[in-house]
Structure 1
Amino acid sequence: MAYNTLVGSALIILALSMWHCQAGTITCLQPGRVYQCPADNCTVVGFVRAEQDYPCDCYVLRRPIQNAVTENPRWYHASLPSGRTGYVNAFFCAGVVPHCKMR
């Protein structure tokens, strides 16, 4: 009986850890804006803080806009504590997450 409980608990922990790894996180090194789309000229939906981790499911690559503040082509699709999601440039944050599938 105790063995079955131990094995069941181990399987649950393994499944949760696999789910957490798939979700991914980014760490922001400095504060930055989060946009509705992956470009500096989109609507701002929130902000990330320095030295904070944020859930992130994937990234996209986009050619930087001429004379934009951010020149990095990588944009992370992140979730904010407010429940909103948006794109933050790799100039502000970094992490290992997969490339986004077609949206």
Structure 2
Amino acid sequence: MYWVILVVSGMLEAVWASALSASNGFRRLWPSVLFVVSVVASMGGLAIAMSAIPTGTAYAVWVGIGATLTVVWALVTKKERLTAGGICFLALLVVSVIGLKVVS
């Protein structure tokens, strides 16, 4: 159950990162509201997960999921362009997150 909470929290990290960008420096209301709600939920879930998963592992997985999904969202919305190097490093990040789950 703690791993599910951690994964959802990592997904919410991508939501708040994207909402923060869309808020235009907190000048747009609804992206700013989405940022606040999702950052509180994401951090809360991370805190709960850390009660059963080692801190370093939980944080690395949380950041890895959030970073990967943030990049994917930027690609889908055409705000970033993917390069061959980017594909390799994203794949390495995903493999690393899976590896941390396997060894924990």
- TM-score normalised by structure 2 residue count: 0.24
Structure richer in helix, relative to its length: 2
The structure, 1 or 2, with the larger RCO (C-alpha pairs under 8 Å, 6+ apart) is 2
**Which is greater in Rg?**
1
- TM-score normalised by structure 1 residue count: 0.24
